[in-house]
Protein backbone atom coordinates (compact mmCIF):
# COMPACT_ATOMS: atom_id res chain seq x y z
CA UNK A 1 0.00 0.00 0.00
CA UNK A 2 1.61 3.25 -1.15
CA UNK A 3 -0.56 5.54 0.96
CA UNK A 4 -1.84 4.04 4.23
CA UNK A 5 -2.51 7.41 5.95
CA UNK A 6 -6.26 6.73 6.19
CA UNK A 7 -5.74 3.31 7.82
CA UNK A 8 -3.16 4.67 10.26
CA UNK A 9 -5.48 7.50 11.32
CA UNK A 10 -8.34 4.99 11.72
CA UNK A 11 -6.16 2.88 14.02
CA UNK A 12 -5.05 5.91 16.00
CA UNK A 13 -1.46 5.93 14.74
CA UNK A 14 0.40 9.14 13.97
CA UNK A 15 0.09 10.62 10.46
CA UNK A 16 2.11 13.29 8.62
CA UNK A 17 -1.09 14.81 7.24
CA UNK A 18 -4.77 14.38 7.98
CA UNK A 19 -6.27 11.88 5.52
CA UNK A 20 -9.37 12.90 3.57
CA UNK A 21 -12.06 11.22 1.50
CA UNK A 22 -15.66 12.22 0.69
CA UNK A 23 -18.90 10.37 1.10
CA UNK A 24 -20.44 9.99 -2.39
CA UNK A 25 -17.06 10.87 -3.93
CA UNK A 26 -17.99 8.63 -6.88
CA UNK A 27 -21.06 10.50 -8.00
CA UNK A 28 -23.13 12.69 -10.24
CA UNK A 29 -21.07 15.83 -9.60
CA UNK A 30 -18.47 14.36 -11.99
CA UNK A 31 -19.22 14.70 -15.73
CA UNK A 32 -17.37 11.42 -16.39
CA UNK A 33 -19.66 9.68 -13.88
CA UNK A 34 -22.76 10.93 -15.69
CA UNK A 35 -21.26 9.81 -19.00
CA UNK A 36 -20.45 6.31 -17.72
CA UNK A 37 -23.91 5.95 -16.18
CA UNK A 38 -25.89 7.48 -19.06
CA UNK A 39 -26.84 4.32 -20.89
CA UNK A 40 -27.67 2.18 -17.87
CA UNK A 41 -30.23 1.69 -15.13
CA UNK A 42 -28.80 2.54 -11.68
CA UNK A 43 -29.11 -0.93 -10.13
CA UNK A 44 -27.87 -2.55 -13.36
CA UNK A 45 -24.76 -0.39 -12.89
CA UNK A 46 -24.45 -1.62 -9.28
CA UNK A 47 -24.54 -5.21 -10.59
CA UNK A 48 -21.72 -4.60 -13.08
CA UNK A 49 -18.33 -5.12 -11.35
CA UNK A 50 -16.56 -3.44 -14.27
CA UNK A 51 -18.69 -0.27 -14.10
CA UNK A 52 -18.50 -0.14 -10.27
CA UNK A 53 -14.72 -0.35 -10.51
CA UNK A 54 -14.58 2.45 -13.11
CA UNK A 55 -16.88 4.72 -11.06
CA UNK A 56 -14.88 4.05 -7.87
CA UNK A 57 -11.64 5.03 -9.59
CA UNK A 58 -12.88 8.20 -11.35
CA UNK A 59 -12.52 10.60 -8.37
CA UNK A 60 -9.02 9.24 -7.65
CA UNK A 61 -7.90 10.24 -11.13
CA UNK A 62 -8.88 13.81 -10.34
CA UNK A 63 -8.08 14.30 -6.64
CA UNK A 64 -5.31 13.15 -4.26
CA UNK A 65 -7.83 11.39 -1.97
CA UNK A 66 -6.53 9.11 0.77
CA UNK A 67 -9.14 6.37 0.32
CA UNK A 68 -11.53 4.91 -2.26
CA UNK A 69 -15.04 3.72 -1.38
CA UNK A 70 -16.61 1.05 -3.56
CA UNK A 71 -19.42 2.30 -5.78
CA UNK A 72 -22.60 0.50 -4.70
CA UNK A 73 -25.83 1.26 -2.82
CA UNK A 74 -27.15 0.41 0.64
CA UNK A 75 -30.40 -0.93 -0.87
CA UNK A 76 -28.72 -3.98 -2.40
CA UNK A 77 -29.33 -5.64 1.01
CA UNK A 78 -33.17 -5.43 0.83
CA UNK A 79 -32.82 -6.70 -2.76
CA UNK A 80 -30.90 -9.70 -1.41
CA UNK A 81 -33.87 -10.35 0.91
CA UNK A 82 -36.11 -10.60 -2.16
CA UNK A 83 -37.54 -7.06 -2.35
CA UNK A 84 -37.73 -5.19 -5.63
CA UNK A 85 -36.21 -1.70 -5.67
CA UNK A 86 -36.16 0.53 -8.74
CA UNK A 87 -34.53 3.91 -9.25
CA UNK A 88 -37.21 6.37 -10.38
CA UNK A 89 -35.80 9.50 -12.11
CA UNK A 90 -36.54 12.61 -10.06
CA UNK A 91 -37.83 10.55 -7.14
CA UNK A 92 -35.01 8.23 -6.12
CA UNK A 93 -35.08 4.60 -4.95
CA UNK A 94 -38.59 3.15 -4.81
CA UNK A 95 -39.79 -0.23 -3.49
CA UNK A 96 -42.50 -1.69 -5.73
CA UNK A 97 -44.03 -3.54 -2.74
CA UNK A 98 -42.99 -2.04 0.62
CA UNK A 99 -43.68 -3.91 3.87
CA UNK A 100 -47.14 -2.90 5.10
CA UNK A 101 -48.21 -5.57 7.58
CA UNK A 102 -46.29 -7.84 9.93
CA UNK A 103 -47.31 -10.79 7.72
CA UNK A 104 -45.25 -9.25 4.90
CA UNK A 105 -42.09 -10.30 6.76
CA UNK A 106 -42.85 -13.87 5.64
CA UNK A 107 -42.26 -12.80 2.03
CA UNK A 108 -38.61 -12.02 2.83
CA UNK A 109 -35.87 -14.63 2.41
CA UNK A 110 -35.20 -15.90 5.91
CA UNK A 111 -31.79 -17.32 4.97
CA UNK A 112 -29.67 -15.33 2.56
CA UNK A 113 -26.66 -16.75 0.75
CA UNK A 114 -24.74 -13.47 0.43
CA UNK A 115 -22.32 -14.84 -2.15
CA UNK A 116 -25.20 -15.89 -4.38
CA UNK A 117 -27.19 -12.67 -3.88
CA UNK A 118 -24.44 -10.06 -3.48
CA UNK A 119 -21.45 -11.71 -5.13
CA UNK A 120 -21.42 -8.94 -7.76
CA UNK A 121 -20.39 -6.48 -4.99
CA UNK A 122 -17.57 -8.82 -3.91
CA UNK A 123 -16.40 -9.10 -7.54
CA UNK A 124 -16.44 -5.30 -7.86
CA UNK A 125 -14.34 -4.99 -4.69
CA UNK A 126 -11.76 -7.54 -5.87
CA UNK A 127 -11.51 -5.96 -9.33
CA UNK A 128 -11.19 -2.45 -7.83
CA UNK A 129 -8.62 -3.55 -5.27
CA UNK A 130 -6.46 -4.94 -8.11
CA UNK A 131 -7.01 -1.85 -10.25
CA UNK A 132 -6.00 0.48 -7.40
CA UNK A 133 -2.55 -1.20 -7.40
CA UNK A 134 -2.01 -0.23 -3.77
CA UNK A 135 -2.53 3.49 -4.43
CA UNK A 136 -4.94 3.97 -1.50
CA UNK A 137 -7.08 1.68 0.71
CA UNK A 138 -10.54 0.57 -0.42
CA UNK A 139 -13.55 1.04 1.87
CA UNK A 140 -16.55 -1.32 1.79
CA UNK A 141 -19.89 -0.44 3.37
CA UNK A 142 -23.44 -1.32 4.26
CA UNK A 143 -26.54 0.45 5.49
CA UNK A 144 -27.39 -0.26 9.15
CA UNK A 145 -30.53 -2.24 10.09
CA UNK A 146 -32.79 0.65 11.17
CA UNK A 147 -31.97 2.70 8.05
CA UNK A 148 -32.69 -0.27 5.77
CA UNK A 149 -35.87 -1.15 7.69
CA UNK A 150 -37.14 2.41 7.31
CA UNK A 151 -36.70 2.28 3.51
CA UNK A 152 -38.35 -1.15 3.31
CA UNK A 153 -41.47 0.09 5.11
CA UNK A 154 -41.65 3.64 3.72
CA UNK A 155 -41.06 2.37 0.20
CA UNK A 156 -38.49 5.13 -0.46
CA UNK A 157 -37.32 8.37 1.11
CA UNK A 158 -39.48 10.13 3.71
CA UNK A 159 -39.24 13.35 5.70
CA UNK A 160 -40.89 11.87 8.82
CA UNK A 161 -40.34 8.08 8.65
CA UNK A 162 -43.79 7.89 10.28
CA UNK A 163 -44.71 4.53 8.73
CA UNK A 164 -41.47 2.90 9.80
CA UNK A 165 -41.54 4.47 13.27
CA UNK A 166 -45.14 3.37 13.76
CA UNK A 167 -43.86 -0.24 13.50
CA UNK A 168 -41.44 0.40 16.36
CA UNK A 169 -44.35 1.51 18.56
CA UNK A 170 -47.08 -0.83 17.28
CA UNK A 171 -45.09 -3.96 16.42
CA UNK A 172 -41.93 -3.95 18.56
CA UNK A 173 -41.43 -7.74 18.34
CA UNK A 174 -41.84 -7.86 14.56
CA UNK A 175 -39.52 -4.84 14.29
CA UNK A 176 -36.83 -6.71 16.23
CA UNK A 177 -37.37 -9.78 14.02
CA UNK A 178 -36.79 -7.67 10.91
CA UNK A 179 -33.80 -5.83 12.41
CA UNK A 180 -32.23 -9.14 13.46
CA UNK A 181 -32.71 -10.60 9.97
CA UNK A 182 -31.09 -7.50 8.46
CA UNK A 183 -28.20 -7.54 10.96
CA UNK A 184 -27.42 -11.18 10.16
CA UNK A 185 -27.27 -10.47 6.43
CA UNK A 186 -25.18 -7.31 6.99
CA UNK A 187 -22.66 -9.24 9.13
CA UNK A 188 -22.08 -11.84 6.39
CA UNK A 189 -22.08 -9.12 3.73
CA UNK A 190 -19.37 -7.08 5.50
CA UNK A 191 -17.22 -10.14 6.19
CA UNK A 192 -17.58 -11.07 2.50
CA UNK A 193 -16.41 -7.60 1.52
CA UNK A 194 -13.22 -8.02 3.56
CA UNK A 195 -12.65 -11.46 2.04
CA UNK A 196 -13.03 -9.79 -1.37
CA UNK A 197 -10.40 -7.14 -0.53
CA UNK A 198 -12.03 -4.26 1.39
CA UNK A 199 -9.49 -2.69 3.79
CA UNK A 200 -11.99 -0.76 5.97
CA UNK A 201 -15.77 -0.86 6.46
CA UNK A 202 -18.34 1.87 7.05
CA UNK A 203 -21.82 1.29 8.46
CA UNK A 204 -24.32 3.99 7.46
CA UNK A 205 -27.11 4.69 9.97
CA UNK A 206 -28.34 7.53 7.77
CA UNK A 207 -31.77 7.76 9.40
CA UNK A 208 -30.62 7.89 13.04
CA UNK A 209 -31.94 11.46 13.28
CA UNK A 210 -35.52 10.23 13.01
CA UNK A 211 -35.12 8.32 16.29
CA UNK A 212 -34.90 9.91 19.73
CA UNK A 213 -32.57 8.57 22.43
CA UNK A 214 -35.03 5.88 23.63
CA UNK A 215 -35.90 4.43 20.23
CA UNK A 216 -32.23 4.54 19.20
CA UNK A 217 -31.28 2.72 22.41
CA UNK A 218 -33.88 -0.01 21.77
CA UNK A 219 -33.92 -0.44 17.99
CA UNK A 220 -30.63 0.84 16.54
CA UNK A 221 -27.74 0.70 19.00
CA UNK A 222 -27.98 -3.02 19.94
CA UNK A 223 -27.67 -4.01 16.27
CA UNK A 224 -24.89 -1.48 15.57
CA UNK A 225 -22.93 -2.99 18.48
CA UNK A 226 -23.70 -6.53 17.46
CA UNK A 227 -22.56 -5.98 13.86
CA UNK A 228 -19.13 -4.68 14.99
CA UNK A 229 -18.65 -7.56 17.42
CA UNK A 230 -19.86 -10.31 15.06
CA UNK A 231 -17.91 -9.02 12.05
CA UNK A 232 -14.72 -8.93 14.11
CA UNK A 233 -15.17 -12.41 15.55
CA UNK A 234 -15.99 -13.86 12.09
CA UNK A 235 -12.96 -12.15 10.54
CA UNK A 236 -10.82 -13.69 13.28
CA UNK A 237 -12.39 -17.12 12.85
CA UNK A 238 -11.84 -17.02 9.09
CA UNK A 239 -8.26 -15.71 9.47
CA UNK A 240 -9.13 -12.53 7.57
CA UNK A 241 -7.58 -9.10 8.33
CA UNK A 242 -9.18 -7.19 11.21
CA UNK A 243 -10.00 -4.03 9.29
CA UNK A 244 -10.97 -0.72 10.93
CA UNK A 245 -14.72 -0.11 11.13
CA UNK A 246 -16.50 3.26 10.94
CA UNK A 247 -19.99 4.01 12.27
CA UNK A 248 -21.73 7.02 10.74
CA UNK A 249 -25.05 7.73 12.48
CA UNK A 250 -26.37 10.95 10.97
CA UNK A 251 -27.95 13.43 13.44
CA UNK A 252 -27.35 11.12 16.41
CA UNK A 253 -25.64 13.63 18.76
CA UNK A 254 -27.68 12.20 21.59
CA UNK A 255 -25.89 8.85 21.13
CA UNK A 256 -22.25 9.86 20.65
CA UNK A 257 -21.12 8.49 24.03
CA UNK A 258 -22.78 5.16 23.27
CA UNK A 259 -21.35 5.05 19.75
CA UNK A 260 -17.86 5.68 21.16
CA UNK A 261 -18.20 2.35 23.01
CA UNK A 262 -19.98 0.41 20.26
CA UNK A 263 -16.86 -1.39 19.01
CA UNK A 264 -15.89 0.84 16.07
CA UNK A 265 -12.45 2.37 15.56
CA UNK A 266 -13.94 5.48 13.94
CA UNK A 267 -17.09 7.52 14.62
CA UNK A 268 -18.27 9.63 11.67
CA UNK A 269 -19.99 12.96 12.37
CA UNK A 270 -22.47 15.09 10.45
CA UNK A 271 -21.97 18.86 10.19
CA UNK A 272 -24.36 19.87 13.00
CA UNK A 273 -21.94 19.33 15.89
CA UNK A 274 -18.87 21.31 16.95
CA UNK A 275 -15.60 19.36 16.70
CA UNK A 276 -14.59 20.14 20.31
CA UNK A 277 -17.96 18.97 21.61
CA UNK A 278 -17.76 15.70 19.68
CA UNK A 279 -14.20 15.10 20.90
CA UNK A 280 -15.18 15.69 24.54
CA UNK A 281 -18.09 13.23 24.27
CA UNK A 282 -16.23 10.55 22.36
CA UNK A 283 -12.91 10.75 24.19
CA UNK A 284 -9.38 10.19 22.94
CA UNK A 285 -9.48 6.47 22.14
CA UNK A 286 -11.65 6.66 19.03
CA UNK A 287 -10.81 8.36 15.72
CA UNK A 288 -13.30 10.96 14.50
CA UNK A 289 -14.35 11.44 10.89
CA UNK A 290 -16.15 14.42 9.35
CA UNK A 291 -17.69 16.92 9.31
CA UNK A 292 -17.63 19.92 6.94
CA UNK A 293 -21.10 21.01 5.84
CA UNK A 294 -21.35 19.70 2.25
CA UNK A 295 -22.87 23.06 1.23
CA UNK A 296 -19.59 24.75 2.23
CA UNK A 297 -18.30 23.48 -1.14
CA UNK A 298 -20.55 26.06 -2.83
CA UNK A 299 -18.37 28.77 -1.25
CA UNK A 300 -15.41 30.35 -3.11
CA UNK A 301 -12.23 28.26 -2.94
CA UNK A 302 -10.48 30.66 -0.49
CA UNK A 303 -13.44 30.37 1.89
CA UNK A 304 -13.32 26.55 1.65
CA UNK A 305 -9.68 26.76 2.73
CA UNK A 306 -10.57 28.91 5.75
CA UNK A 307 -13.38 26.57 6.81
CA UNK A 308 -11.08 23.53 6.50
CA UNK A 309 -8.41 25.24 8.61
CA UNK A 310 -10.97 26.01 11.31
CA UNK A 311 -12.25 22.42 11.22
CA UNK A 312 -8.71 21.01 11.59
CA UNK A 313 -8.01 23.34 14.51
CA UNK A 314 -11.21 22.10 16.15
CA UNK A 315 -10.55 18.39 15.69
CA UNK A 316 -6.77 18.39 15.84
CA UNK A 317 -4.82 16.70 13.04
CA UNK A 318 -4.34 13.32 14.75
CA UNK A 319 -6.87 10.54 15.32
CA UNK A 320 -8.90 12.33 12.72
CA UNK A 321 -10.08 11.67 9.15
CA UNK A 322 -11.39 14.69 7.26
CA UNK A 323 -14.64 14.27 5.36
CA UNK A 324 -17.90 16.08 4.72
CA UNK A 325 -20.75 15.79 7.20
CA UNK A 326 -22.74 13.97 4.50
CA UNK A 327 -22.36 13.11 0.81
CA UNK A 328 -21.47 15.37 -2.12
CA UNK A 329 -24.44 16.87 -3.98
CA UNK A 330 -24.91 16.36 -7.74
CA UNK A 331 -24.57 20.06 -8.67
CA UNK A 332 -21.22 20.63 -6.96
CA UNK A 333 -18.22 21.94 -8.85
CA UNK A 334 -15.49 19.26 -9.00
CA UNK A 335 -12.85 22.00 -8.65
CA UNK A 336 -14.27 22.90 -5.24
CA UNK A 337 -14.01 19.25 -4.19
CA UNK A 338 -10.35 19.43 -5.23
CA UNK A 339 -9.92 22.63 -3.21
CA UNK A 340 -11.35 20.86 -0.13
CA UNK A 341 -9.00 17.87 -0.48
CA UNK A 342 -5.94 20.04 -1.06
CA UNK A 343 -6.80 22.37 1.83
CA UNK A 344 -6.98 19.40 4.23
CA UNK A 345 -3.54 18.19 3.16
CA UNK A 346 -1.91 21.64 3.14
CA UNK A 347 -3.31 22.93 6.44
CA UNK A 348 -2.80 19.67 8.35
CA UNK A 349 0.83 19.44 7.19
CA UNK A 350 1.35 23.05 8.26
CA UNK A 351 -0.23 22.47 11.70
CA UNK A 352 1.83 19.28 12.17
CA UNK A 353 5.07 21.22 11.69
Burial class (CB in 10 A: 0-12, 13-18, 19+), 52: buried
Measured CA to CA, the distance from residue 26 to residue 328 in angstroms comes to 9
Measured CA to CA, the distance from residue 153 to residue 174 in angstroms comes to 12
Please confirm, yes or no, whether 331 is among the known catalytic residues.
no
Please confirm, yes or no, whether 24 is among the known catalytic residues.
yes
CA terminus-to-terminus distance, the chain: 25
Selected catalytic residue, list 4, 8, 29, 37: 37
Please confirm, yes or no, whether 61 is among the known catalytic residues.
no
Any residues with CB less than 8 A from the CB of 40 and at least 6 apart, and which?
48, 51
Answer for the pair 60, 136: CB distance below 8 angstroms, yes or no. yes
Measured CA to CA, the distance from residue 81 to residue 281 in angstroms comes to 37
Please confirm, yes or no, whether 8 is among the known catalytic residues.
no
CA angle (220 as vertex; 215, 222 as ends), nearest 5: 110
Selected catalytic residue, list 24, 47, 129, 319: 24
Selected catalytic residue, list 151, 189, 223, 264: 151
Measured CA to CA, the distance from residue 70 to residue 81 in angstroms comes to 21
Selected catalytic residue, list 28, 62, 180, 225: 28
Please confirm, yes or no, whether 47 is among the known catalytic residues.
no
Active site residues: 24, 28, 37, 73, 151
Amino acid sequence: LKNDTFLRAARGEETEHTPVWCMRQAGRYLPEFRETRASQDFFATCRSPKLCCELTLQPLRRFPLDAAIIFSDILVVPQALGMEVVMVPGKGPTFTEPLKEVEDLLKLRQKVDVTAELGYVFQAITLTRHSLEGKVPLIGFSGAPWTLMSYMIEGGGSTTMAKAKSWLYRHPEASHRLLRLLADVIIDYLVGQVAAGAQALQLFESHAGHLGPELFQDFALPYIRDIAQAVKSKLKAEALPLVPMIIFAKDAHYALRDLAHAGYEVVGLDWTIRPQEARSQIGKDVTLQGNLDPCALYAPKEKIGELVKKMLEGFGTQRYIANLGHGLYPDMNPEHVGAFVEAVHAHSRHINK
